[in-house]
Structure 1
C-alpha cells in the first residue's frame, strides 16, 4: 500500500512545537502516543526540528526508554525502518515527580535547551496520565513551564470526571490554569476515519439530505463490541464501568455528528456549537430505557468471567455491557430512538452505525425488509446501503441487496491513519473541531449522570451473559421495543475482495496480539 503524500514537507503547523509527553512510561504513551508521533514523522507531517521529551516518574536510561517507546511502533516498510533512528534522535527522556516544582524546573531547563537549538516557539503538553494527577500536573506546568510569548497547548485524555459534579470541578480547576483555547480534550473516536467522514456523508451528498429526519428514519443504532474482556484490568475498569468507559464519550460523540444540523462553516466553534445544541435537546436517560449486562465464563469454560478477575471486587455489579436509548426532542428527530450499545467479551469486534428507515406505506410487495444505511467505523471500514432488489429470473421475488462502499476494495492503495495521528496533527494545527469543548462535556454529563447514580446505587442488576456471546438475554427484545425490525430474509454483508478478506484476517490477528499485550502488561 502506498502512503498518501503529505501536504507539506515540514508539516502544516502554524508554529514549531516542542512536545512533552507526560506519563511517557505508561501504556497509553507506548501504545498510542509515540506510535502516532512516529507516524506523523515518517509521513513528514511533523517538522524535522521538533523535539519530543518524555516525562514520567520511572527512572529509565536511554536504551530502556527507546525500547519502551518503540515496542508498539510497526515497521512495515524499509522506509519505516530507515525513519525510526531519525525519529529517535528527536526523542529524549527525563524522570521526575508530578507534584515537585524542582523536577518541572529541570524539565524547563531541558526545554529551553532544545528550543535554543530548534528555534521552537510553541509547547504541546500531552497528558497521557490518570485523571487523579491531571490537576497536580497542570498546576506544576503552569507554575514552572508556562512562558509569556510562547504558544501553549495542553492535550487531556479522558475520562473527564465521573459525573456532572466531578466534571465541573475538573473543568473549573483546569480552567483556572489554562484558557479554553489552550485545552484539547481528546476523544480518540473523533479521529477515526469513518467518524471524520460523517460530516462529508451528511452535508456533501444531496441524496441523503431529504431523508435524514424523523419522517423517513425509524431508529438509529450505534454499536461498539469488543471480543476481549478486562483481562486483569478489572480493578481499573470497575471504577468506571462500560457506560463511562465507552458510551458517555465515544458513542455520544458519534450521535452528535449523526444528528447535528449543518454548521455555518467548518470552523471549529461553528461545528462544536451544533454538537452542543443536539446534546441540549436530549433529556436524561430513563431507567426503563437501559439494559445492563455482566459477562460470565465462556460456554466452554476457557475464558474467565468478569468476577473471576482477582482485581475485581467480590460481588461487583459493575456493567460490562450496556444498551441505552436516547431521544432528541427537536423538530428533526422527535420520536426517533437512538439506541447506543456497547460491551466487552462479545462475539465479535466492531463499531458501526445502523440507520434504519421506516416501512414503505401501502407497499406492493410482501416480505419487504427496511432500507438501512450502515456505516462500519471499524474494522473493515465501509458504508453500505441495504435495499430491496428483484431476484434475477422470471419471477418477481424480492431479495435484500446493497450498494457497498468497502474501503479495502475501493481505496486499496490508501493508508487509513490512526486516530491519534489525526488528532495530534489537529492540535499542532490548532484545530479544535475534533476535540470536546467544556460546555459540550457539561451537556453530555447531564444526560448520563442521573442513570449512572442509579447504577452506582445498585438499583439495576446486570444480566449475566457468557463470554463470547452476543450479549445478555433481552437485547433483541430491547432494540425491538425501540423500533428496530429484523428482516425475516437472510442477509450477510458481502466481502467482495481478497483485500477485504485480508483485512479481516489482520483484524483477527490484531485481536490476538491485543489480548496477549494485556496479559503481558498486567
Structure 2
C-alpha cells in the first residue's frame, strides 16, 4: 500500500462520466469524511473554464445526480473548495506545463484518465515530459483499452514507458459494484458454498448483461466495438473469472489477480457454432416503439448488438461445466445477473409420490437491483393424501433490506477511493487484459473464418431465436 494521494488530477472533467459518476462519487466520499483532508482535485478538459465557472458546473452536476436525501449545500460548498481547473487540449504540450504548475510540488499524485484511447499515448508522453509520471504518480485508465490484443499491447507499452505496473490502475467499474465484491464474500467467507462450487455439483453457469437502450449517441464508438468488445471482453469476463477462480491465499491485489488470470488463460477457444450474434431491428421496448439499429445509425452496418456464447474453463474444477454468456442492446429488461444452476438430485425419494424436485439455483443480481437469491425445494403446506407436494421457494438477501443502515454507493466511489489510497486489488492487471483480448480475438477470427454475420432480432425480444437454440439443444434454458 502506497501513501494516500494529496492531489487527484481528473481528465475529461466536463464530460458525461464526470457529471454522472465521478463528481458525485467524490462528493459522497468527501461528505462521509473518507477523502484525505488535504486532498486537492485538479480538473482538466478542453472546455474553457476558470476555477469559479468549473465549480458552478460541478455544483449543477451534483444537484442533478446526487439523491436529494444525500445532497447538502454546506457539504457541497466545502467539497467544491477542493476543486481547481486547468483548460487543456490533450494534444497540446504547452497546456501540460500549466497543469504541472497548478499541481505544484505535490507529494503522491493520482491521475484519472478518461479520454479517447487515441489520446492515451500523447497524454502520457506529455505527462512524463512535465514530471507528472514516475514514482510519485499513479494512473487510472478508463476503457476501452484497445480494440484487439495488438492495440491493447500498444497502449500498455505506452503506459509502461511512464508508469510502472504497480502504479497503473485499469478500471472495470463492475468491480466497484457491491454485489460483485459480495461474490467473493459469498464464495470464500461461507463454508456452505465452497465445497459444492465445482463440476461435482454445478451443472452450468449463466451470465446475462442485458440493456434496453440503443446507441445513445455513441455511434462512432459502438461501430468500432460491437457487443463482444463492449461488454464481453471486459465486464463479463471479469464476472466469469470471479465465479470460476480458485480461493486466493489472501485478499490482496497480487493473490486475487493471480487467480483471475489463471481462469482467463484456461478459457477454451470458442468455435463459431458455439456463438450467436445479432443486430436489433425495429420493435418496442417498455411499450414504446424504437427504430432498428441501422436506422439509428443512419446507414447499413454489420456490427453485432447481441452476442451469446457457450464458454468452457478447461481446468480440474470446471471440466464439463458450460458457461453461457449473453449480452445485447434493445432487450426486454435492463439486467445484469449471474445464475449458478446446480445439478439434479442423484435420486429423489419423492418421485414415486408424484412430486418433482427441481435443481437448486443461486442467482446473484448485480443491476438494476442488487440481491442474492437461493432457490430451494420445500413442502407445500397442506394435508397431502396422494403424495407430498413440492414447491420452489426463494431465500432472498436483498442488499437494500439486509443493509438498510448503509448508504448504497456508486461503484466509482470504491474505485476512486482505492486509487487515492493506492490499493489496486479491484483494478485489472495487464496480463488479465491481454488474456481477455487473446480469447476475444480468437472468437472474432472464428467468426471471420465461418463468414458469420449478425442475425436480425426484434427490439424488445431476447435476441435471435438461435440464441435460445444455443442453450436448449443442451437441454437447458435461459433464466428469463
Instruction: Give the alignment's TM-score, normalised by structure 1.
Output: 0.85
Q: Give the CA RMSD over aligned residues.
A: 2.1
Deviation at 1:314, TM superposition (A): 2.2
Task: Give the structure 1 partner of residue 10 of structure 2.
Answer: 21
Asked if structure 1 preserves the Cα contact closer than 8 Å seen for 2:8 and 2:41, the reply is: yes
CA distance in 1, matches of 2:278, 2:20: 29
1:128 alignment partner, one of 88, 91, 114: 114
Q: CA deviation at 1:184?
A: 0.2
Deviations 1:126-167 (A, max 9, x none): 10111110111011111113367x621100011111111111
Counterpart contact for 2:124–2:158, Cα < 8 Å: no
Aligned residues: 468
Task: Give the deviation of 1:456 after TM superposition.
Answer: 6.5
User: Which deviates the most, 103-112 or 283-292?
Assistant: 283-292
Matches within 5 A, 1:400-411: 400-411=392-403
Q: In structure 2, what is the Cα distance between the partners aligned to 1:22 and 1:207?
A: 45
Structure 2 partner of 1:241: 226
> How far, CA to CA, are the matches of 1:15 and 1:373 in structure 2?
39
Give the 3 Å change call, closer, same or farther, for CA 121–216 of structure 1 in structure 2: same
The equivalent residue for 1:506 is none
Q: Distance in 1 between matches of 2:323 and 2:73?
A: 45
Report the equivalent of 1:424: 416
**Residues 38 and 73, structure 1, Cα contact 8 Å, conserved in 2:** no
**Equivalent position SS for 2:456:** strand
Asked if structure 2 preserves the Cα contact closer than 8 Å seen for 1:75 and 1:81, the reply is no
* Structure 1 residue 24: Cα displacement: 1.5
* 1:436 lines up with 2:422 in the alignment: no
CA shift digits 1:429-475 (9 cap, x unpaired): 21111111111111111111022245468922212222222222232
Confirm or deny that 1:378 pairs with 2:367: yes
Partners of 2:79 and 2:429 lie apart in 1 by: 32
Alpha-carbon distance in 2 for matches of 1:345, 1:35: 28
d(CA) in 1 for partners of 2:219 and 2:374?
A: 38
Query: Which residue, out of 108, 129, 137, partners 2:123?
Result: 137
Give the 3 Å change call, closer, same or farther, for CA 210–75 of structure 1 in structure 2: closer
Match of 2:382 among 375, 393, 405: 393
The correspondence of residues 313-352 of structure 1 with structure 2, limited to 5 A, is 314-352=299-337
Alignment of 1:459 onto 2:448: no
Q: 1:301 to 1:433 in 2, by over 3 A?
A: closer
Q: Residue 262 of structure 2 corresponds to which residue in structure 1?
A: 277
Over 3 Å off, 4+ runs:
61-64, 453-458
Structure 2: runs of 5 or more not aligned: none
Report the counterpart of residue 91 of structure 2 in structure 1: 99
Give the CA deviation at 1:301. 7.3
1:268 maps to which residue?
253
CA deviation vs aligned residue, 1:311-334 (integer Å, no higher than 9, x gap): x36221111111112101111001
Is the Cα contact below 8 Å between 1:234 and 1:306 reproduced in 2?
no
How far did residue 67 of structure 1 move?
Answer: 4.1
The alpha carbon displacement at 1:356 in A equals: 0.3
Following the alignment from structure 1 to structure 2, what is the Cα–Cα distance between the partners of residues 338 and 477? Answer: 15
1:222–1:351 contact (8 Å) kept in structure 2: yes
Which of 322, 341, 351 pairs up with 1:356?
A: 341
Which residue pairs with 2:69 in the alignment? 77
CA distance in 2, matches of 1:484, 1:46: 48
SS state of the match for residue 311, structure 2?
Answer: strand
Distance 2:407 2:142 in 1: 25
Structure 1 segment 99-118 matched on structure 2, within 5 A: 99-112=91-104
TM-score (norm 2): 0.92
CA 1:78–1:304: 2 relative to 1, 3 Å? closer
Q: Secondary structure at the match of 1:222?
A: strand
Which range moved further: 349-358 or 405-414? 405-414
